[in-house]
Amino acid sequence: MAFPVPLLLTFHLQSSDPWRLKFYILLGLVAYSWWLLAIVLSVRPPWLDRLVGLRSIYGLHGMLGVLALAAAYVHGENSYAPERWARWLGDWSFYAALTVLCYSVFFMSGWLVDRSMLLVKVKRLLERVFRHQLSVWIHRLNLVIVGMIWLHAHLLDRVSEHFVFMVLFDLYTVVVLGIYAWKKWIGPDTFKAGTVVANHARGGSTRKVSVALDQEETSLRPGDFFFLSFEGSSAVSRERHPFSVTDDNREEVTFTMRQHGNYTRRLGNVQAGTRVRLEGPFGRFDSIVQDHHKTRRSCSSEWAPAWRRC
Ligand SMILES: Cc1cc2nc3c(=O)[nH]c(=O)nc-3n(C[C@H](O)[C@H](O)[C@H](O)COP(=O)(O)OP(=O)(O)OC[C@H]3O[C@@H](n4cnc5c(N)ncnc54)[C@H](O)[C@@H]3O)c2cc1C
């Protein structure tokens, strides 16, 4: 939550606007910084995943999106932009962000769908058109929205006249978008790689796929998962999908995949020899199990105080 502070302080020190107007501009800056922070979280930093887990990262990512929109609403309702284009960009970036947020809450989070069987059915039906990969691209419109807000700030004279602030504002934007572009489009070349060595059916709707890694993965822990994409195979798309490792081998990893959707149903076509890219490993399953064992041990120890015996 300290992420916006340098930006807010710099603007506060440079601007001589009346305090009321300044407050609402600062609120707009808080919204912008939270959107940027949500973008940073979307690249799934592996060290943060080991610390808090991907679920919490996604939860925070979503919360930042909602809170930023609330802050942007108050900002927009209480401040004015004399420049026509700045006003237009401010208004339309808000409507676009609201639309993308509603879409993402429905299709990409479990916030609504996990609470109602009816919504699950509606989502499955709609996903025939709005496939996961399409949703990913619709969600990425947030990058365009960030660009619109960036331009909105640059077109506002009372904001852009503060040189030091604008340098910092641009720095925040360039660094965050740079991290995103690196992790999503340039960095994948640095992902782990391997080759499919076996792909067998297990029952009617499950497959066991083994991948020999080019290099032993020493950081792999039991229960971890990777985002896999099969390269150069016309049989299955290059989308990245998450699957958990089902054994304890760090040179050849095996996945047990349930086939129930557009992508997984085609997995049977993946031939031995297909190259695979793997993003990860992610997961906290192993550390959660170990913590649980430690708690059990300290609970049952004869030296444990009575209140800790469980
Ligand atoms: C952390 C994690 C670990 C998983 N481990 C396993 C495993 O070991 N074995 C297994 O069988 N399944 C696993 N899954 C589920 C598996 O990733 C999905 O079943 C698969 O991606 C669905 O693809 P589909 O297109 O065939 O199905 P669809 O019917 O198109 O989609 C089914 C559901 O999966 C979601 N989904 C589709 N694509 C993705 C994607 N790229 N990323 C995230 N969600 C997506 C859709 O939104 C939809 O709600 C795991 C999922 C997660 C999040």
Could you list the mean pLDDT of each consecutive 10-residue stretch along the chain, which spans 310 residues?
Answer: 92 94 96 97 91 93 97 94 92 97 95 94 93 93 98 95 97 97 84 94 92 92 90 77 91 94 88 92 77 66 53
* Neighbouring C-beta atoms of residue 41, cutoff 10 Å: 19
Question: 261 CB less than 6 Å from ligand 1?
Answer: yes
242-265: burial string, b at 16+ Cβ within 10 Å, e else: ebbbbeeebeebbbebebeeebbe
Task: Kindly give the number of the ligand 1 atom that is closest to the alpha carbon of 283.
Answer: 1
pLDDT in tens, 46-95: 889 989 999 999 999 999 999 999 999 999 999 988 889 999 999 999 99
- The partner residues of 200 in beta bridges, in order of sequence, read 208
241 C-alpha to ligand 1 centroid (Å): 6
Give the pLDDT score at 173.
98
pLDDT at 191: 87
Quote the pLDDT of residue 233: 61
- Tell the residue nearest (CA) to atom 47 of ligand 1: 132
- Regarding the beta carbon of 262 and ligand 1, being less than 6 Å apart is answered yes
Residue 208 Cα to chain centre, angstroms: 27
Q: Helix (H, G, I), strand (E, B), or coil: what is residue 193?
A: strand
What does the pLDDT read at residue 307? 46
Pocket flag, ligand 1, residue 257 (CB < 6 Å): yes
Give the DSSP per-residue string, 75-87: HHHH----SHHHH
The closest of 25, 64, 60, 71 to 142, measured between CA atoms, is 64
- Read off the pTM: 0.86
Domain boundaries along the sequence of the chain? 5-188, 191-283
Query: How much is the pLDDT for 222?
Result: 83
The pLDDT assigned to 133 comes to 87
Instruction: Give the whole-angstrom CA distance, residue 12 versus residue 50.
Output: 37
Which residue among 236, 254, 264 has the greatest number of ligand 1 atoms within 8 angstroms of its CB, and so is best to mutate? Answer: 264
Q: Is any ligand 1 atom within 6 A of the Cβ of residue 285?
A: no
Architecture of domain 191-283: Beta Barrel (2.40)
Structure tokens at 108: 């990409």
d(CA 277, CA 160): 43
pLDDT at 297: 64
